[in-house]
Chains A and B, each alone.
Chain A
Amino acid sequence: MDGGGGSRENVTAGGGYTEELHVLAVDDSLVDRKLVERLLKNSSCKVTTAENGLRALEFLGLGDEKRTSLEDNVSKVNLIITDYCMPGMTGYELLKKIKESSILKEIPVVIMSSENIPTRINKCLEEGAQMFMLKPLKQSDVVKLRCNLMNCRS
C-alpha cells in the first residue's frame, strides 16, 4: 500500500485546513477492499487495508507481538471500517476487542454488511459502533460517513 505523505493537513481552496483522515479498512474480500480504498481515497483519506481482524489488530498494536511502533500506528488511525461477515474473527468481534482496549476504544468503528438485519445492526450499535453501512458502498455513503464523523468530533 502506498504510504502517502507524512503531513496530515490539506489546504483547501479557501485557504483553510482540513485534517486528513487515516482510515483502516478491514474486509476479507479483495474486490471490496479495492472498492472501499478507492472510495475513501477519493474523499481525501489516507487508507490502510487489512484482510482480517487479526491483521487489523496487529496494525493497531494489539497483536500477539507488541511492536515498538504501536503508538505511531494507533495515533494515526482516525477511523476503522470493517466488514461484518469475515471468516475467523467477525467484524463484531473485532469491534468488541477495539472497544475493550484502553488505547483503542476512542477510535470510531463503522461496520459494513451486505445484509440488512436489524438485530445485527442493533447488536453492533450497542457494542459501540459509530455507524452501520449497507454494502455495496457508494460515494454517497462515504459523504454520510464524513458528516457523521464531523458531527461527533466537534
Chain B
Amino acid sequence: MDSVVQLQRQLVDYRAQLFNEGFLDEQFNQLQQLQDESNPDFVVEVVTLFFEDSERLLDELAKALEQQSVDYRKIDAHVHQLKGSSSSIGAQRVQKVCIGFRNFCEERNIEGCQKCLQQVKHEYSLVKTKLETLFKLEQKILAAGGSIPLPM
C-alpha cells in the first residue's frame, strides 16, 4: 500500500504530465482553485457535466455527418458547443481539434469533417480516461486520510 506522501507525489507528477502533454491547460487549475471545503466535489461535478455534454454532442455529430444532405451549420453549432465546454474545463487538445473542425465546416469539406470527428472522439476518450485516473488517485489520497495537493 502506498503511503499518503507517495500517493500525493504520484498525483502531482501525473498532473504535471497531463499539462506537459497538452491534455489540460491553465483553465483546469482555475477549476481546482474554485474547489474548497464547502464545495469539495466541484471539479468532479463540472467534469462529469462535460463528459455527459460531450457524449451527447459526439453522438449528434456522428448522426449529422451520416445524413444524405449534410447540414454544416448544425455541425458547426455542435462543434462550437464542444469547443466552448472543453475550453471551460481546460481540455486543451479537444478544444484544438474543434478549431480545425470548424474550419472544415466553413469549407463544407465532408472528408475533413469526418476526419476531425474521429480525431475529436479520440482526444475526448483520452482526456476522459486521464481525468478519471486523476480523480481515482485523488480518492485514494482522501481515503488514506491525506489532502489533495493544490496545483503549483
A30 to B89, CA, bound (A): 12
Given A38-B39, A136-B27: A32 touches B84 (CB 8 Å cut-off): yes
CB closest chain-A residue, reference B47: A31
Pair B27/A138 contact, Cβ less than 8 Å: yes
CB closest chain-B residue, reference A141: B30
> Which residues in A have their C-beta under 8 angstroms from that of B89?
31
Pair B30/A30 contact, Cβ less than 8 Å: no
For chain B, give the interface size range: 20 to 34
Residues 118-139 of A at the B interface (beta carbon under 8 Å): 135-139
> Which residues in B have their C-beta under 8 angstroms from that of A104?
none
From residue B126, how far is it (CB to closest CB) to chain A in Å? 19
> Does residue A34 face the partner (Cβ distance < 8 Å to B)?
yes
> Does residue B50 face the partner (Cβ distance < 8 Å to A)?
yes
> Does residue B5 face the partner (Cβ distance < 8 Å to A)?
no
For chain A, give the interface size range: 10 to 19
> Does residue B53 face the partner (Cβ distance < 8 Å to A)?
yes
Pair A35/B84 contact, Cβ less than 8 Å: no
Which of A30, A137, A138, A139 is in CB contact (< 8 Å) with B53? A30
> Does residue B49 face the partner (Cβ distance < 8 Å to A)?
yes
> Does residue A85 face the partner (Cβ distance < 8 Å to B)?
yes
From residue B51, how far is it (CB to closest CB) to chain A in Å? 10
> Does residue B8 face the partner (Cβ distance < 8 Å to A)?
no
**Which residues in B have some Cβ–Cβ distance to A below 8 Å?**
27, 30-31, 33-34, 39, 42, 45-46, 49-50, 52-53, 77, 80-81, 83-85, 87-90
21 contacts between A and B (CB under 8 A): A29-B85, A30-B49, A30-B53, A31-B50, A31-B88, A32-B88, A34-B49, A35-B46, A38-B34, A42-B34, A114-B80, A114-B83, A114-B84, A114-B87, A135-B84, A135-B87, A135-B88, A136-B87, A136-B90, A137-B88, A139-B30
Contacts A32-B85, A35-B34, A138-B30 supplied; 9 other A-B pairs, CB < 8 Å: A29-B53, A31-B50, A34-B49, A35-B88, A39-B34, A136-B27, A137-B88, A138-B27, A139-B30
Which 6 pairs, one residue from A and one from B, show the smallest C-beta to C-beta distance? A31-B85, A136-B88, A38-B34, A138-B30, A136-B27, A136-B87
